[in-house]
């Protein structure tokens, strides 16, 4: 599997990263998926302290502790669990972040995190304090780099203008092309895109049209529009999943596709689809078939 440089950092990430939120809570089954990922060249693993109230980090830590020097570990911070363990609230304060990272490090069984990401945020937050905190953690060697996971243009713009963030995680796919307006700016600031939702909840797979029957709409696509769009995409001379993955990878700003997997079979299907190269003319046709929109809220 090919690797790409994350921003202008020293980190190189596999073109497919494993989104660990979808892993089963059964450790044996999860370990099988993680092993399959490693065996197929995946070196980037993305989790968050929020996932399963920290147990996801703990599971990843157990599975990868003997491979630590071979992988890139990313986690997130900002969503703070209630004391009861039921529900959470937003806390991007320096006090919480500097406390939360030590909890994540312990669960991940490591001395440092490769990419530490703010798990959301608004312009009402003290983003300067967040950035200062991230820089301090980097100076102390607790993190190598930092980024944000956000779809809000106001937050993205602030971080691009005022920080040394190396990545922005956004939902991006053929059915959600809203992030494209930011690509030239990301490149200008040497920031990489970490793409999540690349298969649009399974709509951009061979089983996609069946999934449409279980949903009334997807973003601005009505059910009728979805069916018509997927029918056109499936008529292209390439598997729809391969088209979806390669469409995102053809963007030079893309660092890694973060794909979830709840089974080994699902992961291997995605890896197989990734291995099929799609001609540029087919990707251009796919682009013509789908909508190009922009975020209408949280504008700069």
What residues act catalytically?
Answer: 51
- DSSP bridge pairs for 81: 88
- Residue with token string 């929020």: 50
How crowded is residue 246: how many other Cβ atoms within 10 Å of its Cβ? 22
- Are the beta carbons of 288 and 260 closer than 8 angstroms? no
- Are the beta carbons of 220 and 159 closer than 8 angstroms? no
Question: What H or E segment, with its residue span, contains residue 228?
Answer: helix 223-234
**Nearest by Cα to 270 from 13, 15, 77, 8:** 15
Counted residue by residue, the chain has a size of 300
> What gap in Å lies between CA 238 and CA 244, rounded to an integer?
10
> What gap in Å lies between CA 36 and CA 267, rounded to an integer?
8
DSSP summary character for residue 216 = S
> What gap in Å lies between CA 7 and CA 1, rounded to an integer?
19
Phi, psi of 165 (to 5 degrees): -55, 140
Query: Any long-range contacts for 280-287 (C-beta under 8 Å, 24+ apart)?
Result: 280/250, 282/236, 282/237, 282/238, 282/243, 283/243, 283/246, 283/247, 283/250, 285/236, 286/174, 286/233, 286/236, 286/243, 286/247, 287/174, 287/247
> How much is the CA Rg of the chain, to the nearest whole Å?
19
């Amino acid at each position: 599997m090919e690797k790409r440089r994350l921003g202008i950092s020293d980190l190189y990430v596999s073109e497919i990263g494993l989104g660990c939120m979808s892993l089963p809570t059964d450790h044996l089954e999860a370990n099988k998926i993680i092993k399959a990922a490693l065996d197929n060249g995946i070196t980037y693993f993305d989790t968050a302290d929020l996932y399963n109230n920290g147990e996801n980090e703990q599971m990843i830590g157990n599975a990868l502790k003997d491979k630590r020097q071979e992988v890139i570990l990313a986690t997130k911070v900002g969503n703070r669990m209630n004391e009861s363990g039921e529900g959470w609230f937003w806390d991007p304060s320096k006090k919480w972040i500097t406390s939360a990272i030590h909890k994540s490090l312990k669960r991940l069984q490591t001395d440092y995190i490769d990419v530490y990401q703010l798990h959301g945020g608004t312009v009402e937050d003290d983003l300067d304090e967040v950035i200062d905190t991230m820089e301090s953690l980097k100076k102390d060697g607790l993190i190598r780099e930092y980024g944000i996971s956000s779809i809000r243009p106001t937050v993205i713009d602030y971080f691009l203008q005022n920080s040394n963030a190396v990545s922005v995680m956004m939902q991006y796919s053929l059915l959600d092309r809203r992030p494209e307006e930011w690509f030239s700016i990301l490149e200008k600031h040497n920031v990489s895109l970490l793409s999540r939702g690349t298969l649009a909840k399974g709509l951009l797979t061979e089983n996609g049209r069946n999934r449409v029957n279980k949903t009334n709409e997807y973003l601005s696509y009505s059910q009728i529009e979805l069916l018509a769009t997927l029918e056109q995409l499936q008529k292209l001379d390439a598997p729809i999943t391969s088209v979806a993955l390669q469409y995102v990878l053809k963007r030079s700003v893309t660092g890694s596709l973060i794909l979830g997997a709840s089974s080994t079979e699902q992961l291997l299907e995605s890896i197989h689809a990734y291995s099929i190269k799609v001609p540029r003319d087919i990707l251009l046709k796919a682009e013509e078939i789908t909508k190009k929109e922009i975020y209408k809220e949280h504008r700069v």
